[in-house]
Amino acid sequence: MQRAVTSRSVYSLSDFARTVKTLEYLYGFFAIALTIVTALPASNNRAWWVRTHDFPRVQYAFLLVGLIITLWVWPESAQAPSRLWTLLLVAALAYQLYWIWPYTRLHKVEVPSIDDANGYPRLRLLTSNVLMHNRDAPALISAVRTHTPDIVITLESDHWWQEQLDNALTEWPHRVACPLDNLYGMHLYSRLPLRDAHVDFLVDEDIPSIVARVEIGEPPVSVRLHAIHPTPPAPGENLRSTERDVELLMLADSVADESGPVIVTGDLNDVAWSRTTRLFCNISGLLDPRIGRGLINTFHTNYRFLRWPLDHFFVSDHVRLLALRRLPSIGSDHFPMLIEIAVGPSRAVDAKTRSAGIDRELEQDTRDTDVAATAVTPSEV
């Protein structure tokens, strides 16, 4: 009887040792994998499987924290992975946080808030990627009527969406329409008169953008407005991010010398913290109202723990922020976004500082692509 117990105990200890060793190997695998996907976006490789790792930085940061905690609570009775893993994981976590932290409340805001317009003219915009196959138009129409924006911009809107919105938004008579059935249709509805409004095709004859000027206030202030929706780097769309990156660069070049107020909005198919979005901001001189206010994730509505900020507003330094918020779902995979601003004198943000932050290597690499050689600069308005 004693011999049988000893045999079972020996077997159990041997099995436990193998299990611990397996866990140690798994730990090393996940640590190396997370380090690799952290480092990949630092390259200029535009392949979709590289650029995809720009998106889940917050999720990767939580996984890295989990691995670090796991290492330090590993049972003393078991052989733990080398503590040297901590150095690698902490370095990877620090790199992820470097990109994320400007979009937390710990960072200073780029666009100042004001409680009252103080006599400055105001403008309220609602942007919504409606998801072309979504048929819950009443939800969007209700949001528009509830929040009464001066301008409504829809993305992925086709002929069906145009018919629904044309009939419902009679109080927004000034319009630009580009209905398409390829997921890149686009519409603009405005209460305010538009000037020089038209549709551009910057990098692809099937991918539109809208540009217009809107006059606000009295005496009137002319605001230059761009709406864009470049293609994402993804299988079934573009295997590389080149078209998206070039479109953002062409738009940045176009507005860089604009002395008056500018607003750029749309679904960039890029996260706020990516190198390409940062390059766009630094070249254009535009500011991100998200900075210092939180992530404000807009995609995907159905997956709470897999969401990213893909829908954006970028503004010139004439803008003071009255409100910025994500609206409830309208049945799309994107949440609508609402911004209310006051437009005043330029705050003269230091152009030298912005210029010094330009990633010249990425900029030149983008300009040297074949797509950039045939791209069109947005029309002047």
- 292 and 328: one domain? yes
Cis previous bond, 133, omega within 30: no
Query: Which residues are registered as beta bridge partners of 116?
Result: none
- 68 and 38: one domain? yes
- 155 and 219: one domain? yes
- 83 and 130: one domain? no
Tell me the average pLDDT across 271-283.
96
Tokens at 360, concatenated: 């010249």
- 154 and 298: one domain? yes
- 229 and 262: one domain? yes
- 30 and 96: one domain? yes
Tell me the average pLDDT across 196-221.
95
Per-residue pLDDT tens over the stretch 291-323: 999 999 999 999 999 999 999 999 999 999 999
Domain end point (choices 103, 135, 158): 103
- Give me the domain span that covers residue 162: 122-374
pLDDT band per the 50, 70, 90 thresholds, residue 380: low
Per-residue pLDDT tens over the stretch 328-375: 999 999 999 999 999 999 987 766 566 668 999 999 999 999 999 999
Instruction: List CB contacts of 292: < 8 A, sequence separation 6 or more.
Output: 102, 104, 105, 107, 108, 109, 110
Q: Please state, in angstroms and rounded to a whole number, the distance separating the CA atoms of residues 254 and 337.
A: 24
Per-residue pLDDT tens over the stretch 215-252: 999 889 999 999 999 999 999 899 999 999 999 999 99
Q: Are 195 and 173 in contact (CB under 8 A)?
A: no
Model pTM?
0.92
Conformation bin of residue 131: beta by default, left when phi > 0, alpha when psi is -120 to 50? left
- 198 and 93: one domain? no
- 280 and 351: one domain? yes
- 95 and 131: one domain? no
Domain end point (choices 40, 71, 103): 103
Least reliable range by pLDDT among 116-120, 121-125, 131-135, 186-190: 116-120
- 46 and 152: one domain? no
State the total domains in the chain: 2
State the chain's mean pLDDT as an integer: 91
- 10 and 72: one domain? yes
pLDDT at 352: 56
Per-residue pLDDT tens over the stretch 5-50: 454 555 465 665 566 667 778 888 999 999 999 999 999 999 999 9
User: In the sheet that 221-228 helps form, which strands lie side by side, from edge to edge?
Assistant: 194-200, 209-216, 221-228, 262-267, 311-315
Q: Are 343 and 216 in contact (CB under 8 A)?
A: yes
- Residue 110 resides in a domain: no
Query: Which residues are registered as beta bridge partners of 264?
Result: 226, 314
Question: Is the predicted pLDDT of residue 1 greater than 50, yes or no?
Answer: no
DSSP state of 266: E
Candidates 363, 278, 371, 373; CA nearest to 44 is 363
Tell me the average pLDDT across 59-77.
86
Instruction: List CB contacts of 306: < 8 A, sequence separation 6 or more.
Output: 56, 59, 300
Q: Are 314 and 286 in contact (CB under 8 A)?
A: yes
- Residue 305 resides in a domain: yes
Pick the more confident residue, 184 or 349: 184
pLDDT at 355: 67
CATH of the domain at 296: 3.60.10.10
Domain end point (choices 48, 68, 103): 103
pLDDT at 377: 78
